[in-house]
Amino acid sequence: MSRFLPKIPPWVSPVVIGLLVLLFAFTQDSFYRLQLGTLSGIYAVAAIGLTLLFGAAGQISLGQAGLLGIAAFGTAYLTVDRGLGPVLSGVVSIAAATVVGLLLGWSALRITGHYLALVTLAFGLCFTELGRTVLPEGWYGVPPLAIGSLDLGDPQRFFVVVWVFVVLTLVASSLLVRSRFGRSIAALRDDPVAASACGVNLARTKVAVFGIASALAGVSGWLFAMYQGSVTETSFSFTLSFNLLIMVVIGGLGSPTGAVAGAVFLVLAPELGRSYEQYRLLSYGLILILVLALLPGGLASIGRLIAKPLRRRRAGVEETA
Amino acid sequence: MTTEAVLAGRGITRRFGGVTAVSDVDVDVVAGEVTLVLGPNGAGKSTLVNCLTGVDRPDDGRVLLAGEDVTGRRPDQFNRMGVVRTFQHTRPFAGLSVAENVMVGAHGRTRAGFVRGTLRTRAARREEAALQAQADDLLAQVGLEGRGDARPTDLPLADERRLELARCLAAQPRVLLLDEPAAGLGEAEADALAALVRRLCAEFDLGVLLIEHHLELALGMADQVVVLDFGKVIARGTPAQIRADEAVRKAYVGVEEGT
Amino acid sequence: MSRRFTAVLAAAAMTVVLAACGDDSDSGNGSASGGTDPIKIGAILGISGRFAFVGEPQKQALELAQQRINADGGIAGRQVEFVVYDDEVDETKSVPLANRLISEDKVVAIIGPSITVPALAIQPIVERAKIPNMTLTSKAIWEGKDGSYVFHTTPREEVEVKSVLSFIKDELKVTKVGVIYDRQPYGTGNLAFIKQFAPDFGLQVVSEEGIENNDTNADAQVQRVRAAGAETVVVWVGDPAASSVVKAINQAGWTVPVLGSSAIAGPRFAELAGPAAEGVYSNSTYDTKAPPANQKTFLDEFTAKFNGPPTQFAAFAYDSAYVLKGAIEAAGGKTDGESIRKGIIDMPAYEGVVATYDFADDNHNGIPNGPLFYIVQVKGGKFEVVYDTRK
Amino acid sequence: MSVDYPQVLATGLTYGVIFALVALGYHLIYVSSGMLNFALGEQLAVAGLVVLSLMSAGVPFVLALIVAVLAAAAFGAGYERFALRPALRMGLVGPLIASVGVAIVIGQARVLIWGPNPRPFAPFTGAPNESVGFLGGRWPIQSFWIIGLAAVSAAALLLFLRYTWYGRAWRATAQSPVGARLSGIDPSVVSMSAVSVASALVTIAGVAIAPIVLAGGFYALDFGVRAFAAAIIGGFTSTTGVLLGGLFIGLLDAWLVAALSAAWSDVVLYAVLALALLVRPRGFLGREGVSRA
C-alpha cells in the first residue's frame, strides 16, 4: 500500500489541496458549486477512512454508509429532539459510530474477503431497513454548525470547515501510513501469517483499523447531517457504501490523497454529463467499468504509468542487471 | 544436553485426521548452537516448527521457553518472547519496501501505537530513527546493502531469503527457527547462506533450530542433530554420530554416500 | 513524478473543472430585469424511482402548461421556460438541485418537489434565498409562518381523508375500517389523520398494516386486515403496491369494498391490477362527467397530448404554474422573489383545475377548507365519478 | 397474530424457487471463477420487459422467451469478458465492483428504454390473477409454472454439470483451479460460460415471476440480496445447498412477513444473513477452504 512512498514529504499534498480549497471557496458566488464542493469534502473524509481499512489493511467493507447513518441520525436526534449543541452532539454521535465500527471489526475477525464484504453489506442493509421501519420520517431542521457564537452554517464558511477536516484527516492518515502502525496494517494486508510471526497482533490491529475507519465515517455522517439539514435513511443506503468503495478504488487503493481525488471525481462526474441529464447515471456506470479495466491502480496510478519509463531511464544499468 | 535449552519441545504430538504428522518429539535449542532437524520430505519437520512457533497447536506435549510453558501461544506472542522464524516459501510484504519489511520485523519489541505514531511524538520519532538505522545495519549484515528502497518482489530468491533473515533479526530474538533456508538455492548461494547463519548465531548468541533435508550442507552447520522419520525421532547426536548411524542411512535409502 | 503528486494534480484538476463547469450557464438574465428573454421557473419532481407515478405526470403537466402559456402570449409579454430536474424522491438530490436552480439557472420560482421528505428538505433553502416555492406535497410545515415563501396548491391531507370517511359513512354504511398504508411519510401522515377523524364519522379503525411502495406481495397484510374483521379496506399507497393489495384481496376471494387514495386515480392502476381493479373506489378532484371550464380544457388537452387521462398529481403542478403566472402578472411583470410572493397573495381568486385558489398571508394553500373531492370507481377498467362529497 | 401457514407455504415456495435460481447463478459464477456478481438482480428485473417488447413486436411468447434467454446468455458472456475479467487485475474485489457498474448500466438503461413504471405481465396460462386452492392456501396459477420451470432449469443444469465437458470443467476448476489449468481447461472460458449460463437462469426466473411482481419493477436489490443470503446459508460451494438455501429464505421471508410485518421482515432477514456469515461462513453444506479470500 505505501508502495515506495514518494520522496515528496507527506505534508505537501494536504497544503496544496488546502490552498486550492481557499482559492475555490472565495471565488465562488454560486451556492450550488459550493454545495458540491462541500459534499465531496464530506465524502472524502469517509473515503480516507475506507482506504485505510480496505486499501491499507485489506479489510473490505460494504457497509460504511450504515456508520455514516448512525452518526447522522445521532446528530439529528441530539440536536433536533434533545437540543444539544452541534459540537457536543457530534462528539457523541461519532463515538457511537466508532463503537459500532469496533463491534463490526471484532465480529468480523474470523472471516475475510468475500464473507467480510457480505457481513458488512448485511449490516448496512440492516441499518437502512431499521431506519425505514422505525424512523421513516427521519428528522429535518438540523441546525447548522456553530461553535459558541461563531455561526459556521453559511455555505462558504461551512465549505471551508469541511475541507479543514479533510486536510487534517489527510495529514493524519499520510503520517499514520508511514508510522509503525501503518506498516503493520500493510503487513496484515500482504501476508497475515508473516505479519503475526513478526509480532503484529492481528486481532487488535484489525479492530483498531475498523475503529479508525468508523470514526472517520462518523465525522462524515455528522458533517452530512448539518450539510443536508434533513436526515432520513435514503441518504445512507447501500448505494452510498458502494460509492465510497468506488471513490477509494478509482482514487487508488490505499492512497489517502487518491481517496480525496476519488471523492471529488465521483461527486463531479455526474456534473460533467449535466447536459444529458438522463444519461448521467448510465455514463457513471460505464465510467466505473472503464476505470477498473484500464486503471487498476486508480487515478493515483496515472503517476506510476508516466513514471515507469522515467524511472527506468534514470535507474540506468542497475535496474536491468 | 550440556547447557540449559532456550527453547524446548517435550513430547510434541500433532495429528491431522488419522495421520500422526509428529509424534512424541523432544527437541532442544541451545543458545549459540545450531540444532538440526533432519528428515525426508513429509517427515513432519514443518509441522514441528509450526508447533514450536505458535502457527499451529500441538495436540499434546509442551513447548517450554527458558523453562516457562508457552504451549499454544499466538505467533505474535512468541515473537515478543524472542522466538522468530523464516518460512519455507518466502513471505515478503510485497507492498512495503525492503527496508520497511525489516522494520516490520521489529514490530513485536516496539511500542509506538497509532496515536503516537500519527502525532509523531518525540518518542515515536526517536523509535522510527532507531528502526531505520537498525534496518540499514541488518541489511548490510545480510549482504543487502543499499537495497532498502527496492521492492522485495524484485529480489532474486537468495536475496529474498536474506531479507527474511534480516527481518527476523530485527526482533533481536533469542531463538531463530529456519524452515529449509537452502531450498531452491544453488550450491554457492547455499554455502554463503550457511556461513552467514553460523556467523549470526555466534555473534548474537542465537539458539538456532534448522530444518533441512539438504544433508551435507546441514550437517556442516549443525552442532546437534535430531533425525525424524514419519514424525518419530529415530536418531539424535552430533553430526559425526549421525553420519555413521545405520538407521539414518536406511531412512535416507539411496542417499549418496558422501558426494 | 510519483503517485502522490499525480493524485494532487488530479484533485486540483477536478476543482478547477468544478469551478468552470458552472460558467457556461451564466446566461445574462438577471431575475429582476424586465428584458425579453424567457422567465425561467424551476421544478424538482420525483420522475424516476419509487414515486415515478407522481412525478412523471407532473412533468407532462408542466410541458402542457409551458406550451399553453407561451401560445397565449406568455407571462407579462415574456415567454416562460420550465427547468425540470428529477430528484428521484431522494432529499440527498433535491437539496443540491434546489441550489442549482437558484444559483446556476437563476430561476424566479420553484415548483415541487413532489413527495413530502424531499419537499421539506428544500424549504429552508428557498426561504433563505427568498425564492417563492409552490411545493407539491400536501404537508407544508412552514405554512402560516409570517413572510414564508412556501405555498401549495395541493389540498390539505385532511380534506381528502374526510371525503373518504364521509363516503364510507354515508354510502358504504359500514363502521369497521382496515387501513393498508405506505410506510413512508405519505402513508403514515394520512394514517394519523384517518385515526384522528374516524370517530367524528362514527367509524372505527380495526387494523393498520404498513407496506412498502414497491412491495409485490400483500397477502400477509390482507390476511391480517380480514382477520381483524374490517368491513372496508382503505389503501393509502401508490402503485405498484396498491395493485398488489387489490390482487391479494381478489386472490383471497374476499369481497369487500376497497377505497384507494387519490394516488391511484389514474389509468395505470387498472392496467397493473387487471380484473382485480374492478369496483375499487378512489377519490379525485376531476369531475369526469361535467368538468368546469378550466378543468375540461386541461383534461382534454392532457389526454390528447399524452394519449391518456391525467392523474390527480398532474393538476397540482398545472395549477402551480398558472398561480405563478397570475402572481407575476399581478406584480406588473416584476420577477424578483419578494414581488412574486406579494403577487401570489394579492392576485385575484384563480379558478384552477383542482379548485379556486385565493391565497392570503395566513392561508398559503388558497383552498377553502371544505370538501373538494369526487369519489370515483373503476368500471370497465376506467375510473368514473360515482359520488360527490361536496353536496 | 395467527399465521396462515398454508399461505406462507404458497408465497414462500413461489418466491423461494426464484431465490434458488438466482442463488444458483451466484453459485456457478463463484465456484468457477471466485467472483461475486451483483448484476444478476438487475438482469432478473429486466427479463420480463425484454420478453414483453418481443411479444409486442409480434413474436409468440415461447419464442420470445427463448430469444430473451439466449440474448441474456450472450450479454452475460459479453460483460464478463469486457467488464469483469479486465478488473481482475485488482484482485477479486475488482469484478465485484465492476459488476456493480454493470448493474447500474442495466438499471439505468431499463429506465431509459422502458421508462420507470413497471408493466403488467400476463400469466403463462389462465386469467390474470387467477388463483386456485391447494394445500389450504391460495396459489396463483403462475406459481405452478414458476416452480415447474425452476425445477426443470435446475435439473437441466445439474445434468449439465454432471455429464458434459463444460460441467466437468467447471467442477474441476472449482475444486482446484491450478489442477484444471494444468489439464488444459482454459479458466477464462469457464468463467465466461458460467456468467453466461447464470444470466440465462436469472432471465428464466425473471420472466417466470413477472406475472406476479410485474415486469421491470424496483425489486432488483430485494431479490438480489435475498438470493445472496440463500447462497451463503446454503454454502456457496454446494449446488444442492444453494438450492435448499433459496427455498429456506423464501419460506423464512414469507413467514416473517406473516408473523411480524413487512417492515420488520427485511430487518430480521438481513440480521439472519449477517449472523449466518459470522457463525458458519461456509454455510451449512459448503466445503471448508474454498473461501478464496
Q: Is residue D287 part of a domain?
A: no
Q: Judge whether B118 lies within some domain.
A: no
Digit-coded pLDDT (tens) for A152-170: 777 788 888 999 999 999 9
pLDDT at position A72:
94
CB contact under 8 A, D138 and C276: no
Q: Look up residue C360 and give its DSSP letter.
A: B
Q: How far apart are CA C233 and CA C257, in angstroms?
A: 7
Q: Please enumerate residues of B whose Cβ is less than 8 A from a Cβ of A.
A: 53, 55, 74-76, 78-80, 84-85, 87, 91-97, 100, 103-110, 112-114, 117-120, 124, 127-128, 131, 149, 151, 167, 171
Distances (CA, A) of A51 to A82, A210, A244, A255, D31: 34, 11, 9, 7, 28
Show which residues on chain C lie within 8 Å of chain A, measured between beta carbons.
Answer: 1-8, 10-12, 14-15, 17-19, 21-22, 85-86, 89-92, 95-96, 99-100, 102-104, 117, 120-121, 124, 129, 141, 183-185, 188, 212
A79-93, C195-209, D39-53, D263-277: least confident range = D263-277
Give the number of A-D residue pairs with CB atoms closer than 8 Å: 126
Give me the mean pLDDT over the D27-48 stretch.
89
Instruction: Name which of A53-57, C120-124, C366-370, D243-247 the model is least confident about.
Output: C366-370
CATH code of the domain covering residue D117: 1.10.3470
Q: Name which residue leads in pLDDT, C211 or A3.
A: C211
Please state whether at least 3 CB pairs lie below 8 Å between chains D and C.
yes
The answer to whether A56 touches A182, Cβ cutoff 8 Å, is yes
Res. C28 pLDDT band, cuts 50 70 90: very low
Distance from CA of A254 to the nearest CA of B (A): 10
Q: Are A82 and A76 in contact (CB under 8 A)?
A: no
CB contact under 8 A, C239 and D129: no
The shortest C-alpha distance from D276 to chain C (Å) reads: 25
Q: Is the ipTM of this complex over 0.85?
A: no
What separation in angstroms does the CA of D203 have from each of C36, D47, D62, D76? 55, 5, 13, 11
Residues of A in contact with B74 (CB under 8 A): 196, 201
Q: Best interface-test mutation with A: which of C2, C3, C86, C135 has the largest number of A CBs within 10 A?
A: C3
Query: Which of the four pLDDT bands, split at 50, 70 and 90, describes residue A300?
Result: low
User: What is the number of structural domains in chain B?
Assistant: 1
* DSSP, residue by residue, B138-166: HHHHTT-TT-TTS-GGGS-HHHHHHHHHH
Structural domain contains residue D129: no
Cell readout for A282 is: 448510465
Domain segments of chain A as ranges: 12-236
Element (H, E) at D206: helix D187-213
**Residue C262 scores a pLDDT above 80:** yes
Q: Evaluate if pTM is beyond 0.90.
A: no
Q: What is the CATH number of the domain that holds B230?
A: 3.40.50.300
Asked if the model's pLDDT at residue C140 lies above 90, the reply is no
Contact D96 A286 (CB under 8 A): no
Q: What would the pLDDT profile of A226-265 be if each residue is shown by its tens digit?
A: 988 888 888 888 889 988 988 888 787 778 888 998 898 8
CB atoms within 10 A of CB C129: 18
**Candidates 3.40.50.150, 3.40.718.10, 3.40.50.2300, 3.40.50.11540; correct CATH number of C157-284+373-388?**
3.40.50.2300
From chain C, pick out residues whose CB is under 8 angstroms from the CB of D2: 227
3-state class (DSSP) for residue C213? coil
DSSP letter assigned to residue A54: I
Cα separation of A31 and C99, whole Å? 6
Class at the top of the CATH hierarchy for domain C37-155+294-357: alpha beta
pLDDT at D31: 83
* Under 8 Å between Cβ of B45 and B95: no
- Strands of the B83-85 sheet, one edge to the other: B83-85, B175-179, B207-212, B34-38, B224-229, B232-237
- Calpha distance D163→A258 (Å, rounded): 49
Least confident among A72-76, A176-180, A268-272, C238-242: A268-272
d(CA B60, CA D155): 49
How far is CA A162 from each of CA A41, A66, A165, A307, C367, rounded to the nearest angstrom? 6, 20, 5, 33, 44
pLDDT tens for D38-94 read 899 999 999 999 999 999 999 898 999 999 999 999 999 999 999 998 888 777 778
Mean pLDDT of B92-96: 89
pLDDT of residue C35: 57
How long, in residues, is chain C? 391
Q: Are D220 and D41 in contact (CB under 8 A)?
A: yes
**Domain limits for position D99:** 5-123+136-279
Region B141-153: mean pLDDT is 87
- Among A6-15, C2-11, D198-207, D228-237, the range with the most confident prediction by mean pLDDT is D198-207
Tell me if residue C81 falls in helix, strand or coil.
Answer: strand
Report the residue from A126, A242, A292 with minimal CB separation from D94: A292
Nine-digit cell at C314?
398532474
Lowest-pLDDT range, B35-44, B242-251, C274-283, D204-213?
A: B242-251
Residue B6 confidence (pLDDT): 86
Helix (H) or strand (E) holding B117: helix B114-119
CB contact under 8 A, A286 and D105: yes
- B112 within domain boundaries: no
Specify whether the backbone of C274 is left (phi greater than 0), alpha (psi in -120 to 50) or beta.
left
CB contact under 8 A, C53 and D131: no
pLDDT of residue C33: 45
CB distance C240–D217 less than 8 Å? yes
Question: Does any CB of chain A come closer than 8 Å to the CB of residue D92?
Answer: yes
Which of A98, A183, A212 should be substituted to probe chain B, the one whose Cβ sees the most B Cβ atoms within 10 Å? A183
Q: Where are the domains of chain C?
A: 37-155+294-357, 157-284+373-388
Sign of CA dihedral A76, A81, A86, A90: negative
pLDDT tens digits for range A113-132: 777 888 888 888 888 888 87
- How does residue D292 score in pLDDT terms, banded at 50, 70 and 90? very low
Q: Which of residues B216 and C327 earns the better pLDDT score?
A: C327
- Number of domains within chain D: 1
pLDDT at B83 over 80: yes
What is the grid cell recorded at B113?
501505537
- Is D285 domain-assigned? no
Question: What b/e readout covers C267-298, taking b as 16+ CB neighbours within 10 angstroms?
Answer: bbbbbbbbebbeebbbbbbbbeeebeebbeeb
Radius of gyration of chain A (CA): 20
Within a domain: B257: no
Domain that includes residue B65, residue range: 5-94+160-251
One-character DSSP codes across C21-42: HTGGG--S--SS---SSPEEEE
Asked if residue A180 has pLDDT above 70, the reply is yes
Strand order in the sheet with B68-69: B19-30, B5-16, B60-65, B68-69
